[in-house]
Amino acid sequence: MKRTPKTYHVKSFGCQMNVYDGERMAELMAADGMVATDDAGAADLVVLNTCHIREKATEKVYSDIGRIRKTQGEAGRAAPMIAVAGCVAQAEGAEIVRRAKVDVVVGPQAYHNLPRLVADAAAGTPALDTDMPLASKFGQLPARRRVGPSSFLTVQEGCDKFCTYCVVPYTRGAEVSRPFAAIVDEAKALVDAGAREITLLGQNVNAWTDGERDLGALIRVLDRIPGLARIRYTTSHPNDMTQGLIDAHRDVESLMPFLHLPVQAGDDRVLRAMNRSHTRDSYLRLIDRIRAARPDIALSGDFIVGFPGETEAEFAATLSLVDAVGYAQAFSFKYSPRPGTPAADMAGQVAAEVMDDRLRRLQAALNRDQQRFNAATVGARCDVLIERRGKLPGQMLGKSPWLQSVHLTASAAIGDIVTVQIAHAGPNSLGGIVTAGLAA
């Protein structure tokens, strides 16, 4: 028998949806009487909230479990209870108990049961719950606690797109939208708890609908919550970019001029093989419409290099798409075959050295554009939401409307929105001088 844990530590890997789920799991454990600790090496219960998207992310879970046990053993402590949550839990289920002897395995749609599973494990049986019940977990979670100035709110989960390389439709299930009223209530609770910015989350966030409204209509309602200064959303699929959402970018001042819109590749044959259901041209035309609605919008994307069968000429089409769009920032990955996905069995798997070379060239182009975008904001005035203290004395860090990190020296408080003039730009952050917004 393990003892009932008194302290807990949640470690989230992967996407922002995991960060949100991790916060909600922490709230559950706190409501159950446990106390948070920042130190995984000292916690009675360690929850690893895992990511399955690429092979490296999955392997990290197993090495982390080993490391936590070792640290606690070296400190002479009893072995901690280990719970594996998130997408690896969903995908591997009982296999994790076999391979790593963990105490609890809980999937992303079942974590509201975590306190019960922990109690079961304390009573001596490894506890597993990877159900995807029809009734949503959200109604069974405790109220939101104090949050930082920038907070996440999951409004949509799951994916029906079945891109051929991707595990998400299997680990997170089908597309489900949370009800309108529940989202508005949670947004108000977050603002009451200290949020000034809310990022709406979903694997396909722009597929959110309540049957009548689209995400643009939801954003127009959230815009009216007093005290909520900024709204963002991520991640979007090009095919779910409704006219209503594009119009919201034109009309809603609190909707920040930033859009993460993954394209993955620039060649139509590759896009077809990926089952992306958009073409290079339809994506570029969509970008034109979005820019017409909001000319200063900063664009971000995701890219995969070395998808099975990708030729040099097809990869060159990705580079030329990058040139055509001019991203403000982006994420790029080497293709990683995921067991059970169609692409894992496709002919023409690309050699590791070729992928390395393509990733290097793609990242050079993306970094060049990011630097260009940052440099173009020098001299501009913009609002910065202060999120935390910097490393230097008196330094504060925040975000520009275009999601750039801005550092400044001022007696601003966390949660303040100050107007700054951008004085210099580096590859990853900007320096600003406050011109307004501070209390006298």
- Which residues contact ligand 5AD (rule: CB under 6 A)? 53-54, 165-166, 262, 264, 302, 304, 333, 335-336, 338
Cβ neighbours of residue 433 closer than 8 Å, sequence gap 6 or more: 408, 420, 421, 423
Range 78-117, binding ligand SF4 (CB under 6 A) = none
Range 170-229, binding ligand SF4 (CB under 6 A) = 203-204
Q: Residue 304 touches which of ligand 5AD, ligand SF4, none (CB < 5 to 8 A by kind)?
A: ligand 5AD
Rounded Cα distance between 50 and 61, Å, is 7
How far CA 340 is from CA of 50, 132, 343, 419, in Å, comes to: 18, 19, 9, 50
Q: Which of 363, 377, 289, 355 is nearest to 332 (CA)?
A: 363
Rule CB under 6 A: choose which of 166, 241, 255, 396 binds ligand SF4.
166
Instruction: Let me know: does 228 contact 254? Beta carbons within 8 Å.
Output: yes
Q: Which CB sits closer to ligand SF4, 166 or 422? A: 166
Annotated binding-site ranges? 15, 51, 87, 159, 163, 166
Query: Near ligand SF4 by CB under 6 A, which window of 5-13, 126-134, 164-172, 380-388?
Result: 164-172
Rounded Cα distance between 37 and 10, Å, is 9
Name the burial class of residue 144, with classes exposed (0-12), middle (13-18) and buried (19+) by CB atoms within 10 angstroms of its CB. buried
Beta bridge partners of 150: 197
Query: Near ligand SF4 by CB under 6 A, which window of 44-52, 66-74, 162-170, 292-300?
Result: 162-170
Q: Residue 237 touches which of ligand SF4, ligand 5AD, none (CB < 5 to 8 A by kind)?
A: ligand SF4
Rule CB under 6 A: choose which of 93, 126, 148, 169 binds ligand SF4.
169
Rounded Cα distance between 84 and 96, Å, is 8
Q: On the CB side of 359, how many CA atoms lie within 13 Å of its CA?
A: 18
Residue 273 contacts ligand SF4 per CB under 6 A: no
Annotated binding-site ranges for [4Fe-4S] cluster? 15, 51, 87, 159, 163, 166
Indicate the residue whose CB is closest to ligand 5AD. Answer: 302
Range 122-161, binding ligand SF4 (CB under 6 A) = 159, 161
Rounded Cα distance between 427 and 108, Å, is 35
Binding residues (CB under 6 A) for ligand SF4: these are 159, 161-163, 166, 168-169, 203-204, 237
